[in-house]
Amino acid sequence: SNSSSITEFLLLALADTRELQLLHFWLFLGIYLAALLGNGLIITASACHHHLHTPMYFMSYDRYVAICQPLPYGTLLGSRACVHMAAAAWGTGFLNAVLHTASTFSIQPCKGNAL
């Protein structure tokens, strides 16, 4: 077939004036640093506080089973059930990321390669 594919993108300037370019730079740098600081604080807090090492939803499902079904508690909630719940959470997150990434890269730009 007679078709061509775009293999690269040209990132055009956000603004033509130097002052607006500097404003955009400092604004995006501040947002990036705030996100980096927030993620660093979350990682530090969870690493330093030993109660944050266990997922809280295992604690909530544990309480639900203990209250609503106390007799089969040992068979319903064991280490195997916790592994299954963790695997389901990780698998769902991974699948979500893969689907979004694949759909992003499968989109064909409609007006050339200038962004």
Q: Tell me the pTM.
A: 0.49
How confident is the prediction along the chain (115 residues), in pLDDT tens digits per residue? Answer: 556 666 776 667 677 788 888 898 899 999 999 999 999 999 998 889 887 777 666 677 778 888 888 888 888 888 888 888 889 989 999 999 999 999 888 877 666 666 5
Q: Where are the domains of the chain?
A: 2-112
Between CA 89 and CA 5 the distance in angstroms is 37
